[in-house]
Amino acid sequence: MNTGYLVVILIYFLVVLLIGLWGAKRASYNAYTVADRDVSLPLSVGTFFATYISSATVIGFIGYTSLSGASIFPTYFWGFALGWLALTLIAGRMRKLRLRSVPSFFEARFGSKGLRVFTAIVTVVAFAFSVMTQLVAGSLVLSVVIGVSQTFSVILLATVLTVYTVLGGLVSVVRTDLIQAGLIVLAVAAAFIVALTQHGISAFNIPENLQTMLQGNTPTVSDMVAMVIVGFGGVAAQPYYLHRFFSTRNVATARYMVGVGALLAGVVYFLIAILGVIMPRSLDAEHLGDSAIIQFGLQAGGFLGALLLVGIICAVQSTVDSALHLVGVNTTNDIVGAAKPTLSDRQQHTIARTVTAVMGVLCTVGAVTFIITDAGFITVLLDIWLGTLSSALLIPLYFSALFKWVSKLGAGLSTVGGFFGYFIPLAASQMGLLELPFHQIYFGFGFSAIGIIVGSLVSRADPNDEVRARFFGKDEAENVQQ
């Protein structure tokens, strides 16, 4: 066991737990769900960035670039950056709606409780799988670096983040995210500086085999386009980024949160891509891929090793706490709340905390089961659910927010069409029942687009005055008058 690394990680856990305790002082349902809609720009940027950078980013993207080079751009970076732009464009409108959750958008826009509950269920299931896989990834790093069992690591990791999330909800999550964001930037920058000192300016010479984009997940131009769409949809329709808009202090903060957060994420992505192409020169071929940055940290040891370990754990916790928080909020607000709308603030707060705690325990049990049985199907399910989520949400949400002509039937068909359009072809191809001629995202977005157009043509949209004023009014009055 590496006692030094264990002490470092325990100090970090203590700090985030203390923040959770502090957040518990603001004990109300609005504080728990949207941090009283008073999150400042530094906190907003921190939480957007930290939620954005997951273990997949730090571990997965460096590993992917070390093997597939320039394919990282169409596979992930370009689509994500387009997603940031879409989020900026919709930020002001989402903030003005003063909602508490993304699924409630559909009831506010169309008066459709069914659509609200459906999107809430899809989101909750997707994020439960996301929490499990992220916990497994984080615990693997913790166990390899510290030298404790992976089961112990997953329980430690999950307990800490569940406790501070349950205690303070979004109030705690945004504050821990700010610290986690700082540590992630420090860790990646430190690794980059160490790599530069090892290789000098030649670090920027890209090896021949890593130059082409037509490799890895993007062997053809069609695959490149598909992956850009997947990345774009995955970011633009991601409920935990959209949820952040409801908590910002005002409209300007909502927009700058994404603008500044994207700049910061862009710089970190640049460092990650360069680290990825350096890895083949720093490590043996057998250590490339997902274990590359961990091996690099272990080789460097000392301060860099500790910083990288904490940075990776921060990346895991900052994403998982947001996912877990959203599971609690969406279940309480949009599933329990839709069935029982007369609950008091206190009752809702208690339910949200209880659901978050129970889901934290269930996801931990799921992650432990995953480790013990080595069940690879969970990551397959995660891919299916996340693709399904963006197919089911992106087009109906953005079109309903931006265009008056979208009808309730159009939004419903688009959501259901996107959900089944992605899920059924992918599930059928996974089971070997059919061979897809192209990526399943084309089916998902295709059916979703057809659904919104056909549904809105068949049934005319007729938004009432309240919906017109709330969704398409031009005023910024809500920020000034109240």
Partner 1 sequence: MFWVGMIIFAILAVSPIFAAVLLNKKDGAHLSQPSPGVSMNDSEH
Residues contributing to the site for partner 1 (CB under 8 A): 30, 34, 36-38, 41, 69-70, 72-74, 77-78, 81-82, 84-85, 87-89, 91-92, 97-101, 104, 107-108, 116, 206, 210-213, 249-253, 255-256, 258-260, 262-263, 265-266, 269-270, 273, 277, 333, 341, 476, 478-480, 482
Token reading at 178: 């700010």
Contacts for 419 with CB less than 8 Å, ≥ 6 apart: 122, 388, 391, 392, 444
Residue 92 or 446: the one with the smaller Cβ distance to partner 1 is: 92
**DSSP strands (E only) in 93-153:** none
Centroid of chain to Cα 398: 18
Residue 343 or 358: the one with the smaller Cβ distance to partner 1 is: 343
**Closest separation between CB of residue 391 and partner 1, Å?**
22
**Closest separation between CB of residue 404 and partner 1, Å?**
19
- Alpha-carbon distance of 123 to 109, in angstroms, equals 19
Do 89 and 241 meet the contact criterion of CB atoms below 8 Å apart? no
Degrees (nearest 5) of the Cα angle 257, 129, 170? 35
**Closest separation between CB of residue 42 and partner 1, Å?**
11
Do 106 and 400 meet the contact criterion of CB atoms below 8 Å apart? yes
> Quick check: helix, strand or coil at residue 91?
helix
Mark out the alpha helices in 283-344 (DSSP H runs).
292-300, 302-330, 337-339
**Closest separation between CB of residue 422 and partner 1, Å?**
25
CB-hemisphere CA count at 13 Å for 167? 21
- Alpha-carbon distance of 325 to 47, in angstroms, equals 13
Residue 36 or 383: the one with the smaller Cβ distance to partner 1 is: 36
Residue 231 or 297: the one with the smaller Cβ distance to partner 1 is: 231
Residue 86 or 428: the one with the smaller Cβ distance to partner 1 is: 86
Kindly list the distances between the CA atom of residue 363 and the CA atoms of 51, 101, 358, 378, 417, in Å, as whole numbers in the listed order: 18, 21, 9, 12, 29
**Closest separation between CB of residue 84 and partner 1, Å?**
5
**Closest separation between CB of residue 187 and partner 1, Å?**
20
Count other C-beta atoms under 10 Å from residue 282's C-beta.
20
**Closest separation between CB of residue 426 and partner 1, Å?**
27
Helices 408-430 and 377-402 pack at an angle, to 10 degrees, of: 160
**Closest separation between CB of residue 449 and partner 1, Å?**
23
Residue 138 or 261: the one with the smaller Cβ distance to partner 1 is: 261
Residue 35 or 384: the one with the smaller Cβ distance to partner 1 is: 35
**Closest separation between CB of residue 403 and partner 1, Å?**
18
Residue 325 or 423: the one with the smaller Cβ distance to partner 1 is: 325
Residue 121 or 381: the one with the smaller Cβ distance to partner 1 is: 121
Residue 101 or 139: the one with the smaller Cβ distance to partner 1 is: 101
CB-hemisphere CA count at 13 Å for 312? 35
**Closest separation between CB of residue 98 and partner 1, Å?**
5
Do 135 and 364 meet the contact criterion of CB atoms below 8 Å apart? yes
**Closest separation between CB of residue 221 and partner 1, Å?**
13
Among candidates 363, 321, 355, which has minimal Cα distance to 336?
A: 355
Residue 147 or 207: the one with the smaller Cβ distance to partner 1 is: 207
> Quick check: helix, strand or coil at residue 21?
helix
DSSP per-residue codes, 179-219: HHHHHHHHHHHHHHHHHHHHHGGGGGSPPGGGT-SSSTT-S
- Alpha-carbon distance of 162 to 321, in angstroms, equals 7
Among candidates 60, 303, 103, 275, which has minimal Cα distance to 189?
A: 275
